[in-house]
Amino acid sequence: MGSEADFYEYRTRLRHYERARPKARIQYILRHYTSMQRIVGDYENKMKIAIQEEAAFNIRKSRGEPGERVQTKVWSDPTMEQAMRGLEMDQTFQRGDIRTLLRHVDQPNQHIQDWNIVKDMKFDCTQIREALHTLKPEEEDLFTDYLNGKRTVDSIADEYQIQYQSAKNKIARIRVKVIRSAAQALMLRYGRNRREWLWDLK
Q: Identify the top-confidence range among 75-89, 120-134, 182-196.
A: 120-134
Mean pLDDT over each residue of the chain, to the nearest integer:
82
In the chain, alpha helices (H): 9-19, 22-31, 36-62, 78-95, 108-133, 137-147, 153-160, 164-190
pLDDT number for residue 90: 65
pLDDT at 87: 62
pLDDT band at 85 (very low <50, low <70, confident <90, very high): low
Q: What are phi and psi of 151, to 5 degrees?
A: -130, 145
